[in-house]
Chains A and B, each alone.
Chain A
Amino acid sequence: MGEAKFELNEVTLKRPGRNTAGNVTTVIILNRITTSFLKGKITAVLGPSGSGKSSLLRLLNRLEDPAAGRITLDGQDLKGLNIFTLRQRVGMVWQLPTLFPGTVLENISFGPRLRGISLSRARAKELILMVGLGTELLDRRADSLSIGQQQRVSLARTLANEPEVLLLDEPTSALDPTAAANILHLMVDLKSRLGLTIIFVTHILDQARQVADEVLFLHHGEIVEAAPAQQFFTAPQDPRSRLFLSGQLEG
């Protein structure tokens, strides 16, 4: 066992929603989650849609707060940390690119500028190369790029904050297979070169097999299995894991 970056203790997330009769009520999204994410490792969060994977990521940089339970980063309660510092340390990239109007350079400079740091052009070039794009894109309007390019700019924008943790929510779902493979390589690269802790949500088992060190398998807002990737894929312990691996588990 390595050192834990994030630890979750009995974390429950509730949200307003509708029950089957269509009435407004409180829905339990995550139910008493207790687990940890290892430092410097890639953890794949797996599960059928609606299992609470994305919601789990949202808790880690406090886009939402749990109704109950405790989350710590390097042993410190998230609620005790300055929220802006926390969000700078824990970067997030979504399923679809969410670039702001303006140029690629303006997008990449957004995070540092919030802290009063003006990102140098040299550093911007470094970042854009790191995500596998050409430096000539820096002055292009963000919305003139392809979705695949935009997704990589989103990643560069998050990396400009120099985060310790990267949260990726199905980062390849809008990409073609080549672009998706590049993002996966990049994840491994970022882990080994910068020592980033990476938590990524995916529904593609092959991606998890390729890059994950650890697997967290969720179903209906509860943890079914948390195990080293090797063990999860070769000798899953829970019957639901076995069903999921054979593609037979529904949400």
Chain B
Amino acid sequence: MQYINIGYGNLLLALILVGITLAVSLWQRLDLHGDLFIGTLRTFIQLTAVGYLLQVIFNLNRWYLVILALGIMLLVAAANAYRRQQERWPGLFFIMLLAIALGGIITLAIVIGIVLKVKPWYQPQYIIPIAGMIVGNAMIGAALAINRLTGEIKAHRGEIEAALSLGATAYLAVLPYLRSALRAAMLPTISTMMTVGIVQLPGMMSGQIIAGASPAAAVRYQVVVTYMVAAATALTTIMATLLAYRYYFTPNHQLKPPAQNNKT
């Protein structure tokens, strides 16, 4: 099959698409043209930089470079999940990092080592894109789950204290809200599993097909990726919520007073 290479000439032609977006923004006075300009530039610069970086990692093909790349991915993901929180506290960043790292690494090990049997395991062609998908989804899951947990605890102080006053442990008192946080974080992944292929063609599968893979082969990859994303989300969110809920309680199973946020 033929594979059309995108050169810089083609990229310039793709600016027609940016032009359409710009026209809509100007016509409807959305006042988005500034952001659009920066966004267009950033997309190009960031992706080009990552492209070069990946090229270096691919060419050198060393396990420690792959580990370094994974480490940076995890740090950025944890920082991102932390930044998206309505309520931040010391230690939450590390909880995010730990949860995303553990959930991600366990899932990655299963996919690379058991399902795909990649040899050697650190082949960048496989581990980098797969880790990217895992960590990205784990990050979104962790951010959603902890935001939801914070909101639920805030909204249900009465029920939580009622359970405590009846002799429940902090864990049992907060359990219904841990569950709803986990459900909220898992739901987008599960609903994607329901509609994948019918409503949208996943980006990775589309990419493989464009690159020349047979649709059947691309589909099998996508099935593995979909299952893997669900597992990574489940593992990461359960670890994040189990680690995070303790912050809201004292060791004596008392719900701490609501946070006094400084004037901003």
**A-side binding surface: helix, strand, loop or mixed?**
mixed
Specify the chain B residue showing the minimal Cβ separation from A89: B167
The answer on a CB contact under 8 Å between B260 and A111 is no
Residues of B156-182 at the interface with A, using a CB-CB cut-off of 8 Å, are 158-159, 161-169, 172, 176
The answer on a CB contact under 8 Å between A63 and B262 is no
Q: Is A225 at the interface (CB under 8 A from chain B)?
A: no
Specify the chain A residue showing the minimal Cβ separation from B250: A65
Contact of B166 among A65, A101, A110 (CB under 8 A): A110
Q: How far is the CB of A102 from chain B (nearest CB, A)?
A: 10
Q: How large is the interface on B (under 10, 10 to 19, 20 to 34, 35 or more residues)?
A: 20 to 34
Contact of A115 among B167, B252, B253, B255 (CB under 8 A): B167
Residues in B with CB closer than 8 Å to A83 are 252-253
Residue total for A at the interface (Cβ-Cβ under 8 A): 33
The answer on a CB contact under 8 Å between A63 and B165 is yes
Can you list, as one digit per residue, whether each of A68-111 has a CB less than 8 Å from chain B (1) or not (0)? 00000000000000011101100110101011110000000011
Residues in A with CB closer than 8 Å to B165 are 61, 63, 87, 91-92, 158
**B-side binding surface: helix, strand, loop or mixed?**
loop
Q: Given that A94-B162, A98-B161, A100-B163 are known contacts, is A114 also in contact with B176, CB under 8 Å in the complex?
A: no
Q: Is B220 at the interface (CB under 8 A from chain A)?
A: no
Q: Is A161 at the interface (CB under 8 A from chain B)?
A: yes
Q: How far is the CB of A181 from chain B (nearest CB, A)?
A: 24
The answer on a CB contact under 8 Å between B167 and A88 is yes
The answer on a CB contact under 8 Å between B166 and A158 is yes
Q: Is B29 at the interface (CB under 8 A from chain A)?
A: no
The answer on a CB contact under 8 Å between B263 and A22 is yes
Residues in B with CB closer than 8 Å to A65 are 250, 252, 254
Specify the chain B residue showing the minimal Cβ separation from A111: B166
Q: Given that A65-B252, A83-B252, A98-B161 are known contacts, is A91 also in contact with B166, CB under 8 Å in the complex?
A: yes
Q: Is A122 at the interface (CB under 8 A from chain B)?
A: no
The answer on a CB contact under 8 Å between B172 and A114 is yes
Q: Given that A22-B263, A88-B167 are known contacts, is A64 also in contact with B162, CB under 8 Å in the complex?
A: no
Q: Max chain B CB contacts within 10 Å: which of A98, A114, A161? A: A98
The answer on a CB contact under 8 Å between B166 and A161 is yes
Q: Is B19 at the interface (CB under 8 A from chain A)?
A: no
Residues in B with CB closer than 8 Å to A61 are 165
Separation of A85 and B163 alpha carbons in the complex (Å): 14
Residues in A with CB closer than 8 Å to B263 are 22-23
Contact of B164 among A16, A63, A100, A101 (CB under 8 A): A63
Q: Is B9 at the interface (CB under 8 A from chain A)?
A: no
Q: Is B90 at the interface (CB under 8 A from chain A)?
A: no
Q: How far is the CB of A13 from chain B (nearest CB, A)?
A: 11
Residues in A with CB closer than 8 Å to B120 are none
The answer on a CB contact under 8 Å between A94 and B158 is yes
Q: Is B7 at the interface (CB under 8 A from chain A)?
A: no
13 A-B residue contacts at CB 8 Å? A17-B260, A64-B254, A84-B253, A91-B165, A98-B158, A98-B161, A100-B162, A100-B163, A110-B166, A110-B168, A114-B166, A114-B168, A158-B165
**Chain B residues within CB distance 8 Å of chain A:** 158-159, 161-169, 172, 176, 250, 252-255, 257, 260, 262-263
Beyond A92-B162, A100-B176, 6 additional pairs, beta carbon < 8 A: A15-B257, A18-B260, A24-B262, A61-B165, A63-B255, A98-B158
In order of increasing CB-CB distance, the 4 nearest A-B pairs are A98-B162, A98-B158, A92-B165, A111-B166
